[in-house]
């Protein structure tokens, strides 16, 4: 059985007056756990990790671990395009009690497949935490091939991949190359159904920030092999999932949470508040879903 499975929420980072809003973050964590999600993932792309200081990064993970109190695993985003920095962030997350770490593939540098392998192998050597590779070529400008993931799957504490290449063929090839103990998680909410139907172990989701119960039920149904229920839930969630793509993540999901009264509508540059036309569309979808 995979180390982690089900619906894992990629948490937003609430800000207020320029600082991390720890009260809003704690309330968000409680709402996620009450909604039945299977794990929490702070400090990823959805959590605006690129604009957090190292101190904020570690303190956010510490806070989420303390609020969660072992009720669900906490998988800290600790990736960087610098291997040394990724090691430092991962060790920091380990020290404050995280249960695992999610590491984006090195961005901007555009390393070779050998460089990608050595990057993750070096982080794995430096920590005891279970590690999840994050493959998102649209943000990193490089793709981790199924062959490289097959190699990484044989590193003792690399346990899975958050796969956001958008290619179902690649997902199937990864499962074949890495074997059944290596978990493949959907990194795109819209592909949770087909990826899990193909053998994926779960989804690291954005939309579950605002609809935790339905997304948790979707993942649970698919893990149980109940495709009929999974399809029904995915069709119900579809307008919400599509609305999360109205502008670049995490602008729509944080705006939605603000409209729901869960956090301030505050971003760190270069992210900005949602444009008026997109915001109007988002509000309409939230009303249809009875979230506002």
Catalytic positions: 134, 162
Closest CA to 81 of 129, 151, 38, 136: 136
Q: CA-CA distance, 92 to 196, in Å (whole number)?
A: 31
CA torsion 177-178-181-187 (nearest 10°) is -110
**Rg of the chain on CA atoms, in Å:** 18
Contacts of 39 (CB under 8 A, 6+ apart): 4, 6, 7, 8, 9, 72, 73, 74, 75, 99
Closest CA to 256 of 234, 271, 241, 238: 241
Provide the CB-side half-sphere exposure for 163 (13 A, CA). 32
Ramachandran region of residue 200, left (φ > 0), alpha (ψ -120 to 50) or beta?
A: beta
Core vs surface per residue 73-84: b (16+ CB within 10 A) or e = bbbbbbbbbebe
Contacts of 163 (CB under 8 A, 6+ apart): 135, 170, 171, 174, 184, 185, 186, 187, 195, 200
């Amino acid at each position: 059985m995979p180390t982690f499975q089900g619906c894992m929420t990629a948490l937003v980072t609430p800000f207020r007056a320029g600082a991390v809003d720890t009260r809003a973050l704690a309330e968000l964590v409680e709402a996620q756990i009450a909604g039945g999600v299977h794990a929490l993932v702070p400090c990823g792309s959805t959590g605006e990790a690129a604009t957090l200081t190292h101190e904020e990064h570690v303190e956010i993970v510490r806070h989420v671990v303390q609020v969660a109190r072992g009720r669900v695993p906490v998988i800290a985003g600790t990736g960087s395009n610098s291997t040394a920095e990724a090691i430092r962030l991962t060790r920091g997350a380990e020290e404050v009690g995280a249960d695992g770490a999610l590491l984006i593939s090195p961005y901007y540098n555009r390393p070779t497949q050998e460089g990608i392998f050595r990057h993750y192998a070096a982080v794995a050597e430096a920590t005891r935490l279970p590690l999840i590779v994050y493959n998102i070529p649209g943000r990193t400008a490089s793709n981790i091939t199924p062959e490289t993931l097959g190699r990484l799957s044989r590193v003792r504490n690399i346990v899975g991949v958050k796969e956001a290449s958008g290619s179902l063929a690649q997902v199937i090839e990864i499962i074949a190359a890495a074997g059944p103990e290596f978990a493949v998680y959907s990194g795109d909410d819209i592909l949770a159904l087909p990826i899990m139907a193909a053998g994926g172990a779960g989804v690291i989701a954005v939309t579950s920030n605002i609809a935790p119960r339905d997304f948790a039920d979707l993942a649970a149904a698919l893990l149980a092999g109940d495709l009929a229920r999974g399809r029904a839930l995915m069709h119900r969630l579809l307008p919400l999932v599509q609305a999360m793509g109205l502008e670049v993540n995490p602008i729509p999901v944080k705006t939605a949470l603000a409209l729901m009264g869960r956090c301030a509508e505050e971003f760190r540059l270069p992210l900005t508040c949602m444009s008026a036309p997109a915001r109007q569309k988002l509000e309409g979808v939230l009303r249809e879903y009875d979230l506002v």
